[in-house]
Amino acid sequence: MKLSEVNITATTSNKGIRVETTTDALRVIWIDPRFGNAHLDNYIEQFGDVEVEYDAESKVYLVPAFKVQRDSYIKGKAATIAGSSYGCD
């Protein structure tokens, strides 16, 4: 289903829904009475009205179209961290 078709109800809006991005980050989207659908509109403006699949175990909406980008980002990040003294004294 498209992200715009996900029903963000009153029960989910307190916590929002978590949706993958093109990095290792997740975006939390919720309906706020002050801003309406601003969080959803912002995501769709940045990433498009993507196809999503709900992963009940992780409680996150996965975006299959971002898999290659996410994997590449994560691999590059791991290589950068492995080749540095990040976190070491």
Burial-class residue 60 by CB neighbours within 10 Å (0-12, 13-18, 19+).
middle
The tens-digit pLDDT sequence of the chain (89 residues) is 999 999 886 555 467 899 999 999 999 998 877 778 888 999 999 999 999 999 999 999 999 999 999 999 999 999 888 887 765 55
- Tell me which H or E stretch contains 18: strand 17-20
pLDDT number for residue 50: 97
* CA proximity to 77, closest of 25, 18, 20: 25
Burial-class residue 3 by CB neighbours within 10 Å (0-12, 13-18, 19+).
buried
pLDDT number for residue 34: 79
Q: What is the pTM of this model?
A: 0.81
